[in-house]
Every structure is written in structure tokens, then in C-alpha cells.
Amino acid sequence: MKLKDDIRTQILSKVKKIVVKIGTGVLTTDDGYLDKEQIKNLAGQAVELNKMGYHVVVVSSGAIGSGMGELGIEKRPATLPELQAVAAVGQSKLISMYDDCFKLHGYHAAQILLTREDFEDRQRYLNTCNTIHTLFQLNAIPVVNENDTISVDEIKFGDNDALSALVTNLLNAELLIILSSVDGLYDKFPAGKSKAAVIPMVKNVSDEVRQLAFDLKTKRGVGGMQTKLEAASVVTNAGEAVIIANGRMDGVLKKIVQGEHIGTLFLPKEEKMTSRKRWIGYTIKPKGKVYIDDGAMHALTEKGKSLLASGIVSVEGTFTKGDIITICGKGNGTIVARGLTNYSSEEIEKIKGCSTSHIAKTLGYKLYDEVIHRDNMVIL
Ligand code: GLU
């Protein structure tokens, strides 16, 4: 126990920027309306952290949930246009409630609505980052949500757990706190007969850990533990920490930064990923896939090598030089890595299986020895 506490304290002592993700279940009452007391409480806590010297960004769900409450809709709509319309009603309620609550402390809510495209476009990505850093200099707390009203399936983050992981990566924030309606990651199904306990610390989001993602979905939100674990995997791989805790616990944010042993802490990988690698590995949606043989798999994952044409067995999708693609194992298609390709899908189709010295002969030219250079690749 002592050792665990030491790790927590050690990690928390390096934290300067914190992304706090607040789920719909934490923000709405049982009858579907925004829970003003709860928002007031969390806004007050965010301000407190800010006054302690942390830069805090809130990623808040609740647009659809609050829209449903406002419009008296009981069941979460199933179609995209309906969801978008409901979100348009709910988001304005949500942000004005945050603003009212921050105003009590002399702060402002700064609304930032994002789509996946804003992360894919380098210019917009950097602008978002700059705006948030500028807001840190003002008495304003950024409140981020997906721009549900204009997001269509192809450009959706899917859920705010994924969005909060990308925002953490964007800002190189050292800690992502996911506030949920559960106390953390349980060691067994929490509604069962035998009592489940919260796992205090997870070293690695392994397949075994993923098995513990019991589905406790609420009526209004999306996600559940599975998407939280995916978010934890993204952030910890990039070298930052994640804590999943109960958003209704009294003074939860302050307790966390003071090192109290609550929720589940996901340990960061030792090495911090550069911003560029975070961008390659997690931010950009891949344009295609290459499948590789066992030898290449070993070279990439065990030896830290680049991907050569000789190890590629097949190509999927249409992409050009400079696109991000996924590298998968040939057998079961397991995702191994992502990287920036030096060759188009058409070229790879021709040179797959070729030794490097044969590329020029096959194509009539050779751009690079490697199909994906190690420096442009992230093992997942
Ligand atoms: N953006 C959605 C909303 O505000 C929430 C998505 C989620 O809960 O993950 O309702």
C-alpha cells in the first residue's frame, strides 16, 4: 500500500495541466435535467484547482442528456438528425449553466466545440491548442464537447472518453481525470452478489484488464467502462496518467490532486511520446492498412526496426505517400502500429514482399528504403 501511495504522489507531483472529463451520468438528475447543484459543485472544484496553480480543462458531456430533459424526451433518440437537434438544444443550456456556476467565483466558461476534423487538420489542431493555452492566462475554464450538431458518423469521436484522451494528448496534459457514476474499475461485476472492489492501480491496459469493462451504460450517455479503458490506453501509452473516479464523491478533484487513494489510477508508460508521435499514433484517422508477416512483426515490436517492403503481405484501402496507415498482423489482423507511409497503396501493391534492393527495379525508382520509417511509427 505504501509503495502504491508513493507512485501516486510521485506522479501527481509532476502534474501541471489536468483534463477533467465529466460524463452525462454525473451531470444529470434521474429525470434527465441538468443537475445544477452538481455542476455548481464541480465548477467550484475546477476553480479551486485553478487557484492551486493547475491549468484545468473540462471535457463535458451532457448536451444530448440535457436536451432530452428540456424537450421531455424519455428515450435516447436513435437517428443522427434527432440526436443533433437535441444536442443543439442541450448544449446551450449546458454551457450557460457552467458559465453561471463559474461566475460565482469570478470565472468564465469558454465553450470549445470540436469535431474529429479539427484534430485532423494540422492548422485547426494548433489553433485549438493555442486558444486553450491563451484561456489559461485568463480567468476562464475551457469547457470542451464534441460539436454534436454538425458531427456525422464519419467524423465522430464516438464518445467523450475518446475526445478527452485526444484533448489530453493535444495539450500534453500530465493527467486525465475521468469522472463517472462508478467509483473506478471494479475487479468483478459490481451489481453481482459478491462484493466488487475498485482496483486502485492498473499498470497496463491489457486484454485481461479490458475483460473487466462491465457494461453499466446509463440511459442518456454513451460509452461505459470500455471506452474509458480505451481512453486510458491512449493516454498512458503517450506517457501521461489517468484516474477514473466517482464524480459525485465529495471534493473528488481536490482529493485526487492531494494524492488521496480514490478511484483507479492508470500508470503512464515511462517514456513520454513526442507531440508528433501522438499525432501519428492516435489523432489522425488512418487511410488504409498493410498486413505484415511474423518476421516483420518481430522486427517492429521486439527490435524497434522500420517496416520494409519485404515484410508486407497485403494492402487494404487507397492512400498516398505521407498518409497515416495502420500496420496489422497477417494472421488475425491484430493492430500492431500506425505510421506515416513513404509509398502509396498502389506502389506497395507492387513492391510487397520485395527485398529493398529490388524496389528500384520493380517500380523504376526508389523513394526510400523503408515503407514506414521507425521515426514515423507508433507501436500500439
Ligand atoms: N457529446 C455528447 C453529449 O454532450 C456526449 C457523448 C458522451 O457522453 O460520450 O451529449
Looking at residue 374, its pLDDT comes to: 94
- Which of 26, 61, 112 has most ligand 1 atoms within 8 Å of its beta carbon, as the pocket-test mutant? 61
How much distance in Å is there from the Cα of 64 to the middle of ligand 1?
6
How much distance in Å is there from the Cα of 136 to the middle of ligand 1?
24
Looking at residue 353, its pLDDT comes to: 95
Pick the CATH number of 286-379 from 3.40.50.150, 3.40.50.300, 2.30.130.10, 3.40.30.10: 2.30.130.10
Looking at residue 5, its pLDDT comes to: 56
Burial class of 193 by CB neighbour count within 10 A (0 to 12, 13 to 18, 19+): exposed
How much distance in Å is there from the Cα of 208 to the middle of ligand 1?
27
Domains 2-277 and 286-379 share a fold: no
The set of protein residues with a Cβ atom below 6 angstroms from ligand 1 is: 23-24, 61-65, 87, 145-146, 148, 159-160, 221-223
CA distance 187 to 196: 6
Of ligand 1's listed atoms, the one at least distance from the Cα of 145 is 1
What are the boundaries of each domain within the chain?
Answer: 2-277, 286-379
- Which of 112, 160, 228 has most ligand 1 atoms within 8 Å of its beta carbon, as the pocket-test mutant? 160
Looking at residue 219, its pLDDT comes to: 47
How much distance in Å is there from the Cα of 368 to the middle of ligand 1?
43
Residue 119: how many other CB atoms lie within 10 Å: 23
The predicted model scores a pTM of 0.89
Residue type, 174: E
Residue segments in the chain with a per-residue pLDDT below the cut of 70:
1-5, 153-155, 190-193, 215-223
How much distance in Å is there from the Cα of 49 to the middle of ligand 1?
24
Note whether 90 and 63 are within 8 A (CB). Answer: yes
CATH class entry, domain 2-277 = alpha beta
Cell of 304: 524497434
Residues 6+ apart with CB under 8 A from 167: 19, 57, 59, 144, 173
R_g (Cα) of the chain, nearest Å: 22
- Which of 34, 39, 83, 159 has most ligand 1 atoms within 8 Å of its beta carbon, as the pocket-test mutant? 159
Mean pLDDT of the chain: 91
How much distance in Å is there from the Cα of 222 to the middle of ligand 1?
7
Tens-digit pLDDT profile for residues 26-56: 998 877 788 999 999 999 999 999 999 999 9
